[in-house]
Amino acid sequence: MVASMNKLVSIACDCFWERYQDRPEFVVAAPGRVNLIGEHTDYNNGWALPMAIDRYTVIAAGANPSVVDGVSEFEFFSEQMQASTSFTTQHPPPNLTAAAWSAYVQGVLTVLDGAGITTPPLRGVIVSSVPSGAGLSSSAALEVSIAKLALTASKTPATDVQIAQWCQTAEHQYAGVPCGVMDQICSVSGVADHCLLLDCKTVTWQTIPIDSEQVAILVVDSLTKHSLAATEYALRRRECQRACEVLQVESLRDATLEQIEKNLRTINLRLFARARHVVTENARVHETARHLSEKNWGEAGRLMYASHQSLCNDYEVSCRELDQLVEIAQSIGVSGGLWGARMTGGGFGGCIIALIDAIRAKEICEQFASKYKNQTGRQTEPFIVRPAQGAFVVRS
């Protein structure tokens, strides 16, 4: 059973009390996300259809009395990692590596510092119901919750887009992940019962309601993460850049199918396939948004399967386990209450999402669990996610 917001807040406050014998002055929350469709389109200036989910990272924090030489000093304990980190933004610890979780925390505070926002010394406790490293963007939830905390503590106003872009910069510069801005926008600006039709070029969005009782979004974790993910992600970005150079367009958002057929197919089949994924995926985003608004679940589901095939064949970022889960979805099918499924997130492991008939959720979860166990020996526990509100201040 996943912890509710109230429960997470009380765990964070209890943990803060245990560590510091004090009541936290600030409590903030930021959610993870799933992307319904529009994968690997964000860094191509395209469109995506993400929604913030009812899984949050919560931070309880207060002033840190141990300030050395007047320099801001921060200390955070992550309940999920069972570890703490302490640092100053002016003097980064020399052993900071891309893999360290403190890179996200310190990165955001340092980027804010660079933007002229001085966060007062803080100590805090981080708790989360966003599974880490599963493609549900626990990294954005962590970054955005830290940014929200820093802005609250320093009483600095900022727009949603500013917050998201600071967090994205931190992820690029301190965690070494050249991500698009989708995850952070969604974590900052998610709207309950809605997904966001996000234009990643203009960083503007429209909200699309997903408030029907009929439908639910199911997440099924493949419980795998292949080490290829980071290098292949960077390679895909370079391939898209190369395709743009050949096509003489600023980004693949501006390319058409006819253009890539004519200019890429004969020159380089791999670049052609990459570009075809991006161009067709952008079109699927708009179509899916329309079908969801019209509660046309069958058509939205069909586009999710098409997205998965494109990611698998043209973009080559799926893996055996994700394909197995999508095949299980197909075997359940519309007659079993499942309209469509696809991998979500960067790929090479992580989760799939499925669009399902809400009243059949229990039996569908059981089928995924037992079939995946038979095929792989892994015990996955599918769960429903609801479109949730973006980051907010619980207490200040």
Catalytic residue annotation: 183
Tokens of 22: 């004090």
* 3: partner contacted, choices Mg ion, ligand ADP, none (Cβ within 5-8 A by kind): none
Q: Counting contacts by CB under 5 A, is residue 263 touching Mg ion?
A: no
CA gap 151, 239 in Å, rounded: 37
Single residue of 139, 222, 251, 310 touching ligand ADP by CB under 6 A: 139
> Residue 259 CB, nearest distance to ligand ADP (Å)?
33
Yes or no: say if 383 and 134 are a contact pair by the CB < 8 Å rule.
Answer: no
Q: Counting contacts by CB under 6 A, is residue 50 touching ligand ADP?
A: no
Yes or no: say if 53 and 74 are a contact pair by the CB < 8 Å rule.
Answer: no
Instruction: Name the residue nearer to ligand ADP (CB basis): 35 or 251.
Output: 35
**Residue carrying structure tokens 């964000």:** 42
Instruction: Name the residue nearer to ligand ADP (CB basis): 254 or 392.
Output: 392
> Residue 340 CB, nearest distance to ligand ADP (Å)?
22
Q: Counting contacts by CB under 6 A, is residue 138 touching ligand ADP?
A: yes
> Residue 222 CB, nearest distance to ligand ADP (Å)?
13
The amino acid occupying position 62 is G
Instruction: Please choose, from the candidates 338, 383, 357, the residue with its C-alpha nearest in 3D space to the C-alpha of residue 214.
Output: 357
Q: Counting contacts by CB under 6 A, is residue 137 touching ligand ADP?
A: yes
Q: Counting contacts by CB under 6 A, is residue 134 touching ligand ADP?
A: yes
| CA 40 to each of CA 129, 257, 303, 307, 342: distance values in angstroms, whole numbers, following the listed order | 25, 17, 16, 11, 13
Q: Counting contacts by CB under 6 A, is residue 29 touching ligand ADP?
A: no
- Interface with ligand ADP (CB under 6 A), residue total 18
CA gap 293, 296 in Å, rounded: 8
Instruction: Name the residue nearer to ligand ADP (CB basis): 129 or 288.
Output: 129
Q: Counting contacts by CB under 5 A, is residue 35 touching Mg ion?
A: no
Contacting Mg ion within 343-382 (CB under 5 A): none
Q: Counting contacts by CB under 6 A, is residue 268 touching ligand ADP?
A: no
Query: Within 208-335, where are the H helices?
Result: 228-247, 257-263, 269-293, 297-313, 320-332
Q: Counting contacts by CB under 6 A, is residue 77 touching ligand ADP?
A: no
> Residue 244 CB, nearest distance to Mg ion (Å)?
25
Contacting Mg ion within 94-153 (CB under 5 A): 137, 139
Single residue of 35, 57, 189, 344 touching ligand ADP by CB under 6 A: 57
Beta-bridge partner residues of 61? 26, 124
Instruction: Please choose, from the candidates 284, 263, 286, the residue with its C-alpha nearest in 3D space to the C-alpha of residue 275.
Output: 263
CA gap 250, 253 in Å, rounded: 8
CA gap 257, 336 in Å, rounded: 35
Single residue of 44, 64, 110, 128 touching ligand ADP by CB under 6 A: 128
CA gap 238, 40 in Å, rounded: 12
Yes or no: say if 379 and 370 are a contact pair by the CB < 8 Å rule.
Answer: no
Instruction: Please choose, from the candidates 26, 2, 35, 32, the residue with its C-alpha nearest in 3D space to the C-alpha of residue 308.
Output: 35
Single residue of 58, 136, 328, 356 touching ligand ADP by CB under 6 A: 136
Q: Counting contacts by CB under 6 A, is residue 145 touching ligand ADP?
A: no
Q: Counting contacts by CB under 6 A, is residue 101 touching ligand ADP?
A: yes
Query: Inter-axis angle of helices 320-332 and 361-376, to 10 degrees?
Result: 140
Binding site for Mg ion (CB under 5 A): 137, 139
Binding site for ligand ADP (CB under 6 A): 57, 78, 80-81, 101, 104, 126, 128, 132-139, 142, 345
